[in-house]
Amino acid sequence: MKRIAFAFACLALLQDAAAGPLRDPFARPALPPRAQPAAEPTDEAQLAAQAAAQPAPRLRALMVTPGRALANINGQILAAGEWFGDYQLIKVEERGVTLKKRGMTSVLLLDESRK
């Protein structure tokens, strides 16, 4: 009787495994495609429209290790030199990042009060 119950339990486990592939719980989720810098608009109205359409960058998280530094800006994981819309990430430090947009440099600090 115990063998029959064990056999049915094994069959149930095999059917669950055959239903679909197992997902790696440690796999990183797919990242959205990175936006390339747009061509420089010449008209002031075009500049204003682009500025209104693009969300302001918000620093969500930082990861700084001796060999690598990453920043999460509006949900995108970026390293130094990569682009976020019209912004280029220049430097990643322990408390914030330096961004550059059309020749202007700005610093975003990590807001540790929001948790």
Considering the domain delimited by 57-115, tell me its CATH architecture. Answer: Roll (2.30)
- Domain spans in the chain, listed from the N-terminal domain onward: 57-115
Angle at 60 between CA 68 and CA 69, to 5 degrees: 5
Contact between 58 and 73 (Cβ < 8 Å): yes
Across-strand partners of 71?
A: 62, 78
Strand (E) or helix (H) holding 15: helix 2-18
Tens digit of each residue's pLDDT (9 = 90 or more) over 60-90? 999 999 989 999 998 899 999 999 888 999 9
Strand 104-109 to 83-84 pairing: unpaired
Mean pLDDT of the chain: 78
User: How sure is the predictor about 3, in pLDDT bands with cuts at 50, 70 and 90?
Assistant: confident
For the whole model, what pTM was predicted? 0.53
